[in-house]
Amino acid sequence: MLAAYLLSVLYLALTSALASPAALPDSRSTPAIPPAGFARRNGATIYVDNTPYYFAGAQQYWLTSRATTDDVWRKTFDRYKELGVRVARVFVYGIDATAGPSPAVYHNWNGAKLSVNYGENGLGRIDKMLAMAKQYNMKLILVLADNWGAQSGSANTYVRNVIGAAGNYHSDFFTNAAVIKVYEQYIAAVVARYKASPEVFAWELMNEQQGDITSIDGRRARPGFTAAMMTKWIADRSKYIKSLDPWHLVSIGDSGYYNWPGNTRHTYDGKVQMDFDANLRIPTVDIGTFHLYEWFQPTKEWGLECIKAHVDNMKKIGKPVFCEEFGAAGGNNQTAIYPTWVKTMLDGGLAGIMPWQVSGVGIYKSASQKTFDDLDIYPEKTVVWSTLKNMAAVLNARK
Ligand SMILES: *[C@@H]1O[C@H](CO)[C@@H](O)[C@H](O)[C@H]1NC(C)=O
């Protein structure tokens, strides 16, 4: 009787383990070892194979979105190398810009139906980016959707195409089952194509997700949308990615906003339904990120406080945290602010630091403007450039 009972328990345990493709641990702060060359984490430290991996990063939305010549790709990677960058963050969607619509088309929309463009002007651009990353011994963060704008991979486009132009809200991207299904279909296609690649550093759910975006383009969160709903979306989508690919790191990609009761200041007041503390604790989330801008005119002190808050989270929760974007508009402001911010981030032990954005390689916003935006960094900004170059050298040497 007892033996039969024990056998049936064992049988149930075995069959449920076999039935579940996610028999691997949800959170890989465990000894689970991925394939050679993959980034993995143990606590707050990222490793590649058995070596701790700290990095200076870069991002070029215009490379996979707008670049048309091999020359620009090559010069960009040469510039990464010159600066000591070893992780680049890449948007797997085309961004429209002042210079016109993106020549890259990752999504083909037909009404509510989405098909993925595997062609040269679609995922072919990501193939190329990964091949170059391999040549330059770099890795890429692949970002799977955007919070902003009206381009093909943005939340608003998903919502409008799947639900319809009227009667919807920005935050429906995070709650509407039909929208989520289409977004997961896109995730599945991209993950299936690149899941064996050690050049993929991490999957990122979205660029800067938040519920309410009224300050940007007037589209609101649906009344009643809460930070807890956003946390659930992050938990469910990150778990979905782990079910497709148990090995690569998963990052949220948010700006790092807090939901601190009683705090009325932007960044901490919870008004965009993001809760950094809760989101970083999700078992299937490996990495926390924050973006430092404060509408491109930050004060040094605001940034220092925000950096310290995120370093505290990293230590308390025991997961890696990156400053994934930062920028102050104007060369003088950069010179005044970046050295102190960078020093504080290095002292805090952040896993990665990624300024927005390396530029000056022959692709510009317009013929008259020789940079891409006011945040651009290039060698002629000598103080900023040497600050970042020294930062990369420190990170690359860290063991
Ligand atoms: C530099 O920062 C100051 C103070 O935040 C701001 O008023 C100014 O417009 C900034 N400069 C540029 C070029 O954006």
> Does the C-beta of 333 come closer than 6 Å to ligand 1?
yes
Strand partners, 146: 154, 207
Asked whether residue 13 is domain-assigned, the answer is no
What is the average pLDDT score of the chain? 89
Q: What tokens were used for 384? A: 């900023």
Q: How confident is the model at residue 366 (pLDDT cuts 50, 70, 90)?
A: low
Cis peptide before 210 (omega within 30 of 0): no
* Residue 15: inside a domain: no
End-to-end CA distance of the chain: 57
Res 13: pLDDT: 38
* pLDDT band at residue 98 under the 50/70/90 scheme: low
DSSP letters of 331-346? HHHHHHHHHHHHHHHH
Residue 69: the pLDDT is 84
Ligand 1 pocket test: pick from 301, 332, 333 the residue with the most ligand atoms within 8 Å of its Cβ: 333
Report pLDDT for 389.
98
User: Which is more confident, 80 or 69?
Assistant: 80
Is the model's pLDDT at 226 over the cut of 80?
yes
120 part of a folded domain = yes
What confidence score (pLDDT) does residue 23 get? 38
Amino acid at 284: T
Query: For the residues 237-246, what does the mean pLDDT come to?
Result: 97
335 CA → ligand 1 middle, Å: 12
In three-state secondary structure terms, 359 is coil
- Residue 33 in any domain: the answer is no
Mean of pLDDT values over 26-34: 58
User: What does the pLDDT read at residue 370?
Assistant: 64
**Which range marks the domain in which residue 198 is found?**
41-397
Write the CATH number for 263.
3.20.20.80
301 touches ligand 1 (CB under 6 Å): no
Which range is least confidently modeled, 135-149, 161-175, 179-193? 161-175
26 within domain boundaries: no
Interatomic CA distance for residues 376 and 330, integer angstroms: 9
Instruction: Give residue-wise pLDDT tens across range 178-207.
Output: 999 999 999 999 999 999 999 999 999 999
Q: What is the pLDDT of residue 255?
A: 98
Report the domain count for the chain. 1
Parallel, antiparallel, or unpaired: how do β-strands 321-326 and 352-353 relate? parallel
Q: Whose CA is nearest to atom 3 of ligand 1?
A: 297
Encoded tokens for 36: 């050679």
Calculate how far, in angstroms, residue 154's C-alpha sits from the geometric centre of ligand 1: 29
346 lines ligand 1 (CB under 6 A): no
Cis status of the peptide bond prior to 357, with omega within 30 of 0? yes
Which atom of ligand 1 is found nearest the CA of 329? 14
The pLDDT value recorded for residue 94 is 87
> 68-72, 101-105, 212-216: which has the minimum mean pLDDT?
212-216
Whether the predicted pLDDT of 174 surpasses 70: yes
CA distance 202 to 186: 16
Q: Is 329 in the pocket of ligand 1 (CB under 6 A)?
A: yes
Average pLDDT over residues 256-281: 96
Which of 2-11, 191-200, 378-387 is the least confident region? Answer: 2-11
- d(CA 231, CA 280) in angstroms, rounded, equals 9
Is residue 80 in some structural domain? yes
Residue 271 lies in a domain: yes
Report pLDDT for 24. Answer: 41
Report whether pLDDT(25) > 50.
no
What average pLDDT does range 148-167 have in this prediction?
Answer: 90
Helix, strand, or coil here: 377? Answer: strand
Query: Where does the pLDDT of residue 95 fall: very low under 50, low under 70, confident under 90, or very high at 90 and above?
Result: confident
More confident residue, 322 or 220: 322
153-178 average pLDDT score: 93
Mean pLDDT, rounded, for 233-242: 98
pTM for this structure? 0.90
* Nearest CA owner, ligand 1 atom 6: 297
- Spatial distance between the Cα atoms of 309 and 302, rounded to a whole number of angstroms: 11
Smallest CA separation from ligand 1 atom 12, residue: 330
C-alpha of residue 334 to centroid of ligand 1, in Å: 10
Lowest model confidence (mean pLDDT) among 297-301, 332-336, 358-362: 358-362
In the prediction, which pLDDT does 211 show?
A: 95
Cβ of 330 closer than 6 Å to ligand 1, yes or no, is: yes
Pocket test for ligand 1, best of 295, 297, 302, 334 (most atoms within 8 A of CB): 297
The reply to whether ligand 1 has any atom less than 6 angstroms from the CB of 37 is no
- 187: in domain: yes
Decide if pLDDT at 217 tops 70. no
Residues paired with 39 in a beta bridge: 48
